Amino acid sequence: MELEINTVMNTYTPKAADVDRRWYVVDADGVPVGRLSSAVAKVLRGKHKPTCASHMDRGDFVIVLNADKAVLTGRKEEQKTYYRHSGMPGQLKQESAARLRARRPERLVELAVKGMLPKNSLGRQQFRKLKVYAGGEHPHAAQKPEPLDLGSA
């Protein structure tokens, strides 16, 4: 009696139609920017799901509230410098974190999260699912966002 066993296993590849997008809301009041942005980037990339695929956009939408109250630890408020360039010669601009917070407080969180996403078209697609607001209100109530616990993300 000869027993033939077929032990070929196929790797699961998620389909684009199987993506279920959820909405999460995070309160950044008193939370360090680095811890906040790493948790948010994980959800945007979809790494919190068991069907994670690094070559696909499987992540969820994230709303960050109270971005103006997020904390920079240490002396980063005075020492950290943000650069931007218009593309024209001699147009490199630099700005401290304190000045950027006074001008556009949402930008601190956006830049931190953007730095943790892939640097390609997939990362740009994932970044578009991030919504950051300086205050405690947002216009996305129709999506019924769920609160995101930063410890579990």
DSSP annotation string for 85-133: E-SSTT-EEEEEHHHHHHH-HHHHHHHHHHTTS-SSHHHHHHHTTEEE-
Domain-by-domain residue ranges, the chain? 21-147
As a whole number of angstroms, the distance between CA 84 and CA 64 comes to 23
Predicted local distance difference test score (pLDDT) of residue 105: 96
Q: What is the pLDDT of residues 15-63, one digit of tens each?
A: 888 889 999 999 999 999 999 999 999 999 999 998 888 899 999 999 9
Amino acid 16: pLDDT: 82
Categorize the per-residue pLDDT at 151 as very low, low, confident or very high, splitting at 50, 70 and 90: confident
- CB 110, CB 132: distance < 8 Å: yes
What pLDDT score does 153 carry?
66
Total residues found in the chain within this entry? 153
Structural contact between residues 106 and 67, judged by C-beta atoms closer than 8 angstroms: yes
**Residue 3 pLDDT exceeds 70:** no
Tell me the C-alpha distance between 28 and 116, whole Å: 17
* 127 — pLDDT class (breaks 50, 70, 90): very high
Select 21-147's CATH number: 3.30.1330.10, 3.90.1180.10, 1.10.340.30, 3.40.1440.60: 3.90.1180.10
- Residue pair 58/49 in contact (Cβ under 8 Å)? The answer is yes
- Structure pTM? 0.89
In tens, the pLDDT along 77-120 reads 999 999 999 999 999 999 999 999 999 999 999 999 999 999 99
